[in-house]
Each structure stands twice: as structure tokens, then as C-alpha cells.
Structure 1
Amino acid sequence: MPILLSVPAFAILLAVYAIPIVELFLASLDAPSFSLAHYREFFAEGANITVLFQTIEISAVATAICVIIGYPTAYLIVAASKRLRIVLIVLVFIPWLTNGLVRTYAWVVILGDRGLLNNLMLELGLISSPLHLVYNRMAVYIGMVHIMLPAMILPLLSVMLGIDKSLVAAARSMGARPFVAFWRVFLPLSLPGLRSGLLLTFIFCLGFYITPATLGGLNDAMLSTFIVSQVEAVGSVASVAVPSFVLLAVTIVVLSVLGLDLSGNQGREGQPAQTSFRPSWLLSFGPLIRYLSELAASHRAKRWTAERYKAGGNSRRSAKTVGGVWVALAIFFLLFPGFVVMIMSFSDKPYLEFPPSGLSLQWYRSFFNDPSWIGAFWTSVQLGIWVAVLSTIVGTLAAYGLSRTHPRVRRPLTMVILSPITFPSIVVGVSVYQGLFALGMIGTQSGIILAHTVGAIGSVFIIVSATLANFDRRLEQAAQSMRAGPLRTFMRVTLPLIRPGVIGGAVFAFLHSFDELVITSLISVFSIRTLPLKMWEDIRNQIDPTIAAVGSMLTVLPVLWLIVLYVGWWRSRLTAQSGVSVPTT
């Protein structure tokens, strides 16, 4: 039975994550008496309600900004030439792979009282004293949008690249103006990508902890901050469980609303898909609208006849110019903070300055000569390798087994595997903390490995499943017809062809572990210091220029991973071509 291959993955998830989250839910209901007393106590505090609504507000505003910036950017990237499109996609993808703590630190450097912006305005004489650009709500929005913007753009790109451009051209040939063709044709077809981007961005924003804690003030706390404070205070299980499940309830509500098919595929069979966003009260004006439309029909026909042979001229050139500027500004917003950190890491001063008055490698030497930094780095590398190996094995087996299981069974099991990367990270961290606490693995490396593996399995599962979706199973049947057993068929036929997906899953699993901070801080209890934990401690205590050197190296790391992925894809392609070559006589 192929489903048995997913047993190792579900065993880890059940022991470390699923069973503890059920126990937390029962504790929040005061089992076995089962009452809502803990929830009533939570909502009786006005401060808790304020923080809850503040969390939703900050997440919603950050998501809206990502939509406003991300949708036009994705649309313009798709409209670019093939070579330029590939370059732009890579430039969007690099920040997504960069450590989130490094990007948050970059904005501290840029927005600080003696940061880049204040120094620049002081030099130009625009201000007489530094402005308070950090430790406020605006700084939180800037940091969150900078981190989540790739999560909005990439799902949009995946859908927009599959839209047939001839449909928009057909609408234009029927007299539709560019905006009308976009609104009536392109936008409805891109709604699945928009929905995915909204879900990813809003749910991740709900669980944000590092960015609000670093860039925000006391009035910008989110519910994740409250949960972490309860865990650190070693409060009762209910005091941690109740806010976690309140946040989880908000997530489920959002999933139930945005999880619906907004692309217009829910209509009854045989009927055209409806993708209109018009409120129901507008339907009463239907006869009047149709009448006015008939009156304007002759005007539209004359305009179309007069303009159909006209060249785009200056309007088309100006549109391209505006679009190019928009994409350039979006890419600049994503890449500039990392560029600032890299330049400042070469400063020869004992403090951060941009641009550096002199160049030096002293902060890189400080990193490599400091045993605490090197120890934290190698701890992160070791943990990342263990997590990558474990999650790649069990995640690949689960993806392979569930891909050959009936859809009715596969769908709910897939939801369980993906829930750790779907729910807010702070909720997952609390449940994993509860599970590892019951197993006596808090403050151990094995506990951190299991905690990281819970989320890394989902990343491997998604990538390998996407690879298997394009796999021709007739190749396996051909091997088995030649008396190859299941294991030999998998090792000699299936695995070589899905190797890029497996390598990609391993890389993302390593990055997931290497960059993880929130869950690590809960599980390690700061007894085991990873590189992100060491950076987090130094950022909270002082702005050490050594962090700029570390951030610079972590900014270059995604480029190396993309090269590894490309080499793996290239070798797999050569293997596939050589495998299907037909000898000639």
C-alpha cells in the first residue's frame, strides 16, 4: 500500500505537533470539565482585545500594501521579454530566501536615529535633528511588507505565466480598451494567484514576532509577543493555549473565506463562470444599465472603427516607461536593504556608516575570530544538515506515497502535512514546545532537530509533489515489465527523474532550519545558540557591526543555493536526455 510510505512523516508530526496541539486545545477548554472560563478571562481583559484587533489590523494593512505593490509588479514582470523576466524573477526570489532577521536588521540600520536616511537628510540640510523613523507602526509596516512582498509576487507569477495572452489580444480586437480587457479578462484569470498570495501573506503576518518586536514600539505589540511572554514566564498551559487558539481561530476564518474558489469555477455545470465583484444591490439596476449600454453601443462601434488601425504611439511608450520605473522601484525596495548591509560591513570605523569612509575586513575577522559566533554558525549548519536529511527522506516518501493514493484520502492527509507551514508560526511553536516538553527534549539538539523537521517536511512535500505531478508513470510500468522490483524501479527510474525536486526540497529544508528563530528560541531556552539566536541577542542588546558582516554573508547565501538548484536541474536534464536517446543504425 503506497500510503504506508507516509507513516514516518505522520509519526513525527503526531508525536511532536498534532497530539500536543490537541492537548493544548483541551487544556484551553479546561478538560475534563470543559468550560469556556479561560476564554472568558482572556476576552475580559481590554488589553487582550486591543492586542488581538491590533494584530489583525497590522496584518491586514501589510497584506493590502503587498497587494498594491505586488500585483502590478507581477503583471509587469510577466509582460517583459523572456530573458528580462527570468532575471526579474531571480531578483524577487533572492530576498525571499534571505534570512528574515537580516532583512529586519537592515531596516534598523536604515531607519535608525543615526541611520542612512537620517544621515542623508542631515547632510542635505533637510532636517536639523534626526527623525524618529523606527520603533513605530510605519517601521513595522515597512519591515513586514519588505519580508512578505515576494510571498505575494511569486504565487501571482506562477498563475499569470499560465494565462494565454491571446485572450487579452482577442478582447482588444473586439474594441475593448486596455483597462477593460485587463479587468474583464486578465484579472479574473489571475484570481487564484491573488488568493494564494493573500493567504500566504496575511497568515504569515498574523504570526510575526521578530519584526514588530525589533522595529515597533510598545503600542505595536502583536498577539505573538503576548504568547512568547507567557511561555517565557512559565505560566499555566491555559494561559499559553488560549491566545494561541484565538490566533488560530482567526487563521481558520481567513482560510474558510479566502480558501473558497474566487476564480469563478464554482458555478453550476454548463454555466459560464461568474467572476464579478459587484454587490447584490447593483443587480436591481440591471435594466437601466442594459439600456444605457445599448445607447452607447453605436458610439463604441464608431470609436472602434476609427481607432483599430492606429498605432500605440506615445501612449504605449509612456506606459512602458511607467511600468519599467514601477518594477525598478519594487526590485530596489527588495534588494536595497541587503545592499546597504553588505556595503556597511566593510566599514573601517567601530560603528556603522553608509557609505563607509574607508574599507576594511575587520568585522569579518571579528566574526571568524570570535568563538561564540563560529560556534553558533556551526551549530546552525549541523542542525540544518540533520533537518535536511531527515525531512527530505520522510517528506519524499510521503509525497511519493500520497501521490499514488486515492484523492479522497490524499486531500485530508495533505492538509495535515501542510498545516505546520499554513498556521501561524507562533502557534506551531507553542504546540511543538508542549510536545517536546512532554518528551523531555527541551533544550536539546535532538529536540531542535525534530522541531525544525515539523515545518521542513511540508516544504519538501510541496516541492517533491509538484515534481511528481509532471512524472510519467508509464516509465515505472515499463521498468516493472522488465522484471524490476519496486525498490529497483524507484532507485533507477523514479529517483533520477525527480532528483531536482528532491534537491530543491533538501535546500529549502536546510534554509528553513538555518533561518528559524521563533521556534528555536522556545525549544532551546537559549541553552543552545544557533546563528539566528546569537544575532537576535546582539540586536536586542547592541548594534554590533559584526552583525553586518554576518548579514552580508547570509545575503550571499541564497545566490549560492540558487546555483546549486540550477546545477542539479541541469544535470538531471542531461541525464534525462541521455536516458531517452535512441541509437541509430
Structure 2
Amino acid sequence: MDALRKMWRVPLGLTVPAFAILLVVFAVPAIQLFLISVDAPSFSLGNYLGFFAQSGNILILFQTIKVSVLTTFICLIIGYPTAYLIVNASKTASAALIVLVFIPWLTSGLVRTYAWTVILGDHGLINNVLIELNIISSPLSLLYNRLAVYIGMVHIVLPIMILPLVSVMYGIDKSLVAAARSMGARPSHAFWRVFFPLSLPAVRSGTLLVFVVCLGFYITPQALGGLSDAMLSNYIAAQLGSSLELGPVAAEAFILLLIATIMLSVFGLDVSGTQSHFGAVHKSERNRPSCSGKLRRKISEVAVPLRARRWTGHLYRPVHSAKWWNTLASLFVALVMMYLLFPGLIVVVMSFSAGAYLEFPPSGFSLQWYRSFFNDPSWTAAFWNSLQIGLMVTVLSTAVGTLAAFGLTRTSSRARKFLTMIILMPITFPVIVVGVASYLGLVNLGLIGTKMGIVLAHSLGAIAYVVVIVAATLANFDQRLEQAAKSMRAGPIRTFVRVTLPLIRPGIIGGAVFAFISSFDEVVITSLVSGFSLRTLPLKMLENMNQQIDPTIAAVGALLVLMPVLWIATLYFTLWRSRRAHEGGLAPAGLSHRPEVPSNIAA
């Protein structure tokens, strides 16, 4: 207990468990992997030169970059106006739309990929509808090509683009745009000169996140694309499963990591804040050459009377285009929401099919595939494996991540940024790189193919999610409450348990939920470290998707589609109860106003 109290008095000591897991399972193996890639201790670039010596490898590398860039661009084109319309909607509509974006983001990516195989297949929804309408006589080739890969990847990563944009746009002061309009600026001009520059940090963050995630895509290109649509992640996974030489695999992983690192370094996240960025925009405008500036001012002075008359004429003119604009905006948002949610609904409806195979629309409704799931030992065993691993990951990552977040918020700003960046590496690096490093780390520990090994590998990302969510909660925490408790002779541990913990409980529960989701849905890292003796539910689903023989996967997919609703309801009621308690003036446990408070919370 004394050692724990000493650690509590040193904030960085609370981050030791998180960094210990990170170092043993990921960081040290990553360094070892790099040394293997350069043939240490002889140190040569043979593995890298061997990769670039084959034209097929270069083709796969450029194809990976091309697909990632184009997917990111499509997400930005769709995600930015969607986020803008969500922010400018009414309060109720905005909250509902954010929930609708969250649901597919929390839904298993494997299930969403499976849904697109059903929609785009030769006997899928689109081809069946077109044939029924006599538009085509034979099925179109919509699956196993590059178009299907783009459709599936954009569908999975689009929420990752929308959510950061919405978060930053909500913080933009709308009075700035109103001020520009009041000075005669047209709506489009006010948007591009005021609102858009303030949203650029979110554009950069969302673009980087989507691009890095796309670099590590593995399942979607494999399930929806053809042989010519494979990405570097597929190549790395295939080599790791078929070759005993880690040198080429390590080189390929670090080539992919180098691309992600370059992007993060060159177009890194803007931590200076939006206002400073806005100031930088105007500063750059003031630094224009003096000749062009004088010319612009002269032209502007000549045009002032014309703009004044035009502004006066438009001031009291009824806006006829507002109705059409609102209709188009509503239609656009509805189409985006349908694109995000419809595949999951397809899986749910098909899971009740009464036929001998999956069809949409179902010829009849039955629970046969749900009975098949619960009566098949292979499916139930995979489900219990995933449930047990998910619960263990949740307990471990929530405890370790909460301590790390608490310690990081108590350190200096410079140290906090650096250490947080290290903890977030498992979710900012391409997932295939994390998987290869975890594989090597678990080989060193002798835990390949064990539940404990999978728990440690999953905890890398889960701890990062918990740290982010709990740290965000602690950022709004009033530390004067802790000081008040300590002034009444409460020790640091008692203060945390009786004061801090009740107030940050919603953030801890949110972090635990995200930790469980990230573990329960994980398939890429699990496929590398599970061996052949242990099957989780996502691995079982992937196996059946490849074989395409068991329609039970539709029932499993429907259950996983409905799970995010349960997660969101859990988070909502947790936050609602916390808010009701706060509004009702309920004091945290151990801080009531009774005279015996000092004796109750004293260390």
C-alpha cells in the first residue's frame, strides 16, 4: 500500500503499467523487427532492395497508396458537407444524425464488408432488382473488382472522417460568419473566407486518420476485390503465414510504416488551436506583395459604391432559394445515412430468411439461422472465446488506461503530449504493422495461440481508446474538488476513489465500452497471433465468408449490427444519470455536507 501511495504521488508512475504492456508487446518487438529488416548485426538493405527489385511489389505498393489516397479523397468530398449540414441542423436532428453516424462506426467492419458481398453479388440485391425491372438480362459484375473495394472501404472509414469534422465545427463561433454576412459578404464568400479556414485542422486530422487506416486495410480488399486488387497488407499477411523468413516481412511492414510516418510528420495534427490557425490565414494575406495589395485596394475602393447598392438591394429581398437548398441538403444527408446504415439493415432482414440460402427480399421469415448459430458448437465456442477475451481486455485496459490517463493529465504539457503520442501509436499506425510487431512480441513471450496472448495484443489499441476518452473527461474535471478533499486529511488514493472516480465514471464506462468493442471486433491482429488452435467469432466469420457455405453468418452479423444500439444506450443512460445527479446537486460519494465528512474520507 505504501508503494502504491508513493506511485500515486508521482503522476508518471501511474503510466508504468500501460507503458510496460506497450513496450513488451509492441515497442521492443517493433525495434527488433526493424533490426531484422536490416539484417542486424551485419546491417544491410538487402531486404528492402529485394522488395523494390521486383516490379510486382512496386505495383502493389503504388496500388496501396493510390487506393488509400482516392478513398480518403472520396471520404473528404462526402464527409465535409455531411458534417457541415449536421452541425447546422436543429439540435434534435443534429443529435439524431450523430447517433446514426456512430452506429455504423461501432458496427463490426467484417459485418459491413459481408453486407456488401450480399448487395453486390451476382445474385445480390442490386442485380436482382435490375433483372426484375428488365433493365438487364444477366447479372452485372459488381463484385471482386476495384469499384467494390472503393465502395466497401469508403463505407467503413467515412464515419472516421465525419466525426472529427463535426467535433471541430461545433466549436467554431458562428457569429464570425454572421459578421461577415453583415458586412456584405455572400454566403459562399463568408464560408470560404471564414468558416472553412477554421475547419482546416479537422480536415487535416480526419484526412490523416482515414489515410493511415486505409494503408492497413486487409479484410475488405480481400473480400470485395479481385486478385489484382490486393494491397500491401494482404501481401504481408500472406507471406507471414507461408514463410518462416521474417526479414522480407519486416521490410515490407516498415515500408508501409514509413509512408504513414511521412504523412503524419508532414501533415501532422494541428495542436495550436483553430483561432491561431485563423490568425495565420490572415497573417499570410497581410504578407502578400505590396504591389498586388495596393492594386487590390484600389479596385476594392472603386467597387465599394457598387457593392453597397447591391447589398442594399439584396438586404430585403426574399430568399427564394432557401427552400430548394434545404430540400437538396436534406436529400444529400438522407442518401449518406442510407449508404451508412442500409447494408447493416440488409443483413438483419436476411438473417430471418426461411429459404435454404440467403436471399433478399426473403421468401419467408424464420429463426432457423439463429437456431443454427446456437446449436452449432463451432459458432458458440467462437462466441465464448470472443466474449471471454473481450471481457479480459476490457478489465485490463480500463484499469491500466484510467491510471495512465490520470497520470498524464497531472504531468507537464510537453511531457503529456509526447507520452500520449507514444500510447496512441497502436491506433495511429497501420494495423498490419501493429499485428506483425505483436506477433513477434508474443513469439518472444511464448504466447502465440493463447487467450492471454490475444488479450495482450488487443489491449494495445484498447488502452489507447481508454486513455483518450478518460483524459478528455479529466480535462473538464475541477481539481479544486480534490484539493478540498485533501484539505480534510484525505489521502491521494482515498481522494481518487471517493471524489475523482465518481465524477469521471461516465468517461471510464465509455472507455470500457470502446475497449470491449475494439477487442470483440478485432480480426487482423487476431488472425496473426491466434495460431490455428483458437478461433474467435470474427475469425470464424472470416472463414465462412471465404468459403461462402454457411448462411448462419447472416444471423451472427445481425447480432453484431444490433450490438452498437446496446452500446449507445449504455453510454446514453450512463451520461444521463450522471447529468441528473449533477443537476440535482448530488455530491460525490464521501463528500456530503455532514459534520462527520473528515472522518469518513480521512486516509
With the shorter chain as reference, the TM-score category is over 0.9
Describe the SS at the equivalent of 1:273: helix
* Separation (CA, whole Å) in 2 of partners of 1:105 and 1:494: 43
CA RMSD of aligned residues (A): 2.1
Give the match's secondary structure for 1:128. Answer: coil
Which residue identity lines up with residue 343 of structure 2 in the other structure? P
The answer to whether the aligner puts 1:441 opposite 2:450 as a matched pair is no
Aligned to 2:83: 74
Select 1:298's aligned residue among 291, 294, 305: 305
Distance of aligned partners of 1:353 and 1:283 in 2 relative to their CA distance in 1, 3 Å threshold: farther
2:427 matched to which residue of 1? 421
Change (3 A) 1:424 1:300: same
Question: Among 368, 380, 383, which residue is 2:386 paired with?
Answer: 380
In the alignment, what sits opposite 2:586? 579
Partner of residue 528 from structure 1, selected from 534, 540, 548: 534
Identity of aligned residues (%): 63
Alignment of 1:33-432 (within 5 A): 33-259=42-268, 261=270, 272-274=279-281, 288-312=295-319, 314-432=320-438
Q: Could you tell me how far apart the structure 1 residues matched to 2:292 and 2:282 are?
A: 18
Q: Distance in 1 between matches of 2:251 and 2:485?
A: 54
Which stretch shifts more, 230-239 or 199-208?
230-239
Aligned with 2:456 (options 450, 453, 465): 450
Distance 1:281 1:119, change over 3 A: farther
Distance 1:281 1:341, change over 3 A: farther
Q: Which moved more, 1:137-146 or 1:525-534?
A: 525-534
Structure 1 residue 293: Cα displacement: 3.8
TM-score, normalised to structure 1, is 0.96
Asked whether the 8 Å contact 1:391–1:509 carries over to 2, the reply is yes
Question: Displacement of 1:296 after TM fit?
Answer: 3.2
Say yes or no: does 1:547 pair with 2:556. no
Question: Does the Cα contact within 8 Å between 1:262 and 1:275 map onto a contact in 2?
Answer: no
Q: Counterparts of 1:429 and 1:398 in 2: how far apart (Å)?
A: 23
Cα distance in 2 for partners of 1:488, 1:311 equals 64
AA paired with 1:536? L
Q: Alpha carbons of 1:458 and 1:260: their partners in 2 closer, same or farther (altered >3 Å)? A: closer
Q: What SS does structure 1 have at the residue aligned with 2:263?
A: helix
* Residue 510 of structure 1: how far off its partner (Å): 0.4
SS class of match (1:138): helix
Judged with a 3 Å threshold, the aligned counterparts in structure 2 of structure 1 residues 53 and 414 are, in CA distance, closer, same or farther, namely same
Note closer, same or farther for the CA distance 1:134–1:275 as it changes in structure 2 (3 Å cut): farther
User: Is the 8 Å Cα contact of residues 400 and 468 (structure 1) preserved in structure 2?
Assistant: yes
Task: Check the 8 A contact 2:233/2:432 in 1, yes or no.
Answer: yes
Counterpart in the other structure of 1:471:
477
The alignment partner of 1:254 has SS state of helix
How far is the alpha carbon of 1:283 from its aligned partner? 9.6
Deviations along 1:451-505, one digit per CA (max 9) or x if unpaired, are 0001110000000000000000000000000111111100000000000000000
Which whole-Å CA distance do the structure 2 matches of 1:21 and 1:64 have between them? 30
Shift of 1:261: 3.3
The one-letter code of the counterpart of 2:557 is G
Q: How many residues align?
A: 580
Q: Is the 8 A contact 1:264 1:275 kept in 2?
A: no
Matched with 2:6 is none
Q: CA offsets, 1:295-352, max 9 Å, x none? A: 433322211111112232x211111111000000000000000011111111111112
Contact 1:74–1:153 under 8 Å retained in 2 = yes
Check conservation: 2:465, 2:515, Cα contact below 8 A.
yes
Aligned residue type for 1:300: R
Give yes or no for the alignment of 1:568 onto 2:577: no
> Structure 1 residues 88 and 194, CA, compared in 2 at 3 Å: closer, same or farther?
same
What is the TM-score with the length of structure 2 in the denominator?
Answer: 0.93
Q: Secondary structure at the match of 1:579?
A: coil
After superposition, give the CA deviation of every residue in 1:269-307 in whole Å (9 maximum; x if it has no partner).
xx94216999x9999865555544444333222111111
- Corresponding residue to 1:514 among 516, 520, 534: 520
Unaligned runs of at least 5 residues, structure 2: 1-9, 595-603
**1:145-175 deviation digits (Å, cap 9, x = unpaired):** 0000100000001011111111111111111
Change (3 A) 1:36 1:539: same
8 Å CA contact retained: 1:464, 1:501: yes
Describe the SS at the equivalent of 2:41.
coil
**Within 1, Cα distance between the matches of 2:489 and 2:409?**
23
Q: Counterparts of 2:586 and 2:559 in 1: how far apart (Å)?
A: 39
Indicate the residue corresponding to 1:31 in structure 2: 40
C-alpha distance in structure 2 between counterparts of 1:160 and 1:434, whole Å:
42
3-state secondary structure, aligned to 1:540: helix
Matches of 2:290 and 2:550, distance apart in 1: 62
Q: Is the 8 A contact 1:175 1:308 kept in 2?
A: no
Counterpart residue type for residue 448 of structure 1: I
1:408 Cα deviation (Å)? 2.1
| Change in CA separation of 1:495 and 1:221 when aligned onto 2, cut-off 3 Å | same
Once the two structures are TM-superposed, the CA of residue 206 in structure 1 deviates from its matched residue by: 0.4
Separation in 1, partners of 2:491, 2:580: 25
The C-alpha deviation readout for 1:532-571, integer Å capped at 9, x for no partner, is 0000000001153211111111000000011111122122
Q: 1:267 to 1:498 in 2, by over 3 A?
A: closer
Letter in 1 for 2:63: Q
2:220 maps to a residue whose letter is: T
Q: Which residue of 2 aligns with 1:504?
A: 510
Greater alpha carbon shift after TM alignment, 521-530 vs 464-473:
521-530
| One-letter amino acid of the structure 2 residue matched with residue 25 of structure 1 | F
Q: CA deviation at 1:526?
A: 3.0
- CA shift, 1:258, in A, is 1.8
Q: 1:277 to 1:216 in 2, by over 3 A?
A: farther
Is the contact made by 1:348 and 1:356 (CA closer than 8 Å) also made in structure 2? yes
Query: Which 5+ residue runs of structure 1 have no aligned equivalent?
Result: none
State whether residues 48 and 248 of structure 2, in contact with CA within 8 Å, keep that contact through their aligned partners in structure 1: no
Q: Which amino acid is 1:17 matched to?
A: F
Q: Does the CA contact (< 8 Å) of 1:367 and 1:546 recur in 2?
A: yes
3-state secondary structure, aligned to 1:450:
helix
Offset from partner CA, 1:419-447 (integer Å, 9 cap, x none): 00000000000000000001111011110
Alignment-derived partner of residue 489 in structure 1: 495
Contact 2:205–2:269, Cα closer than 8 Å, also in 1: no
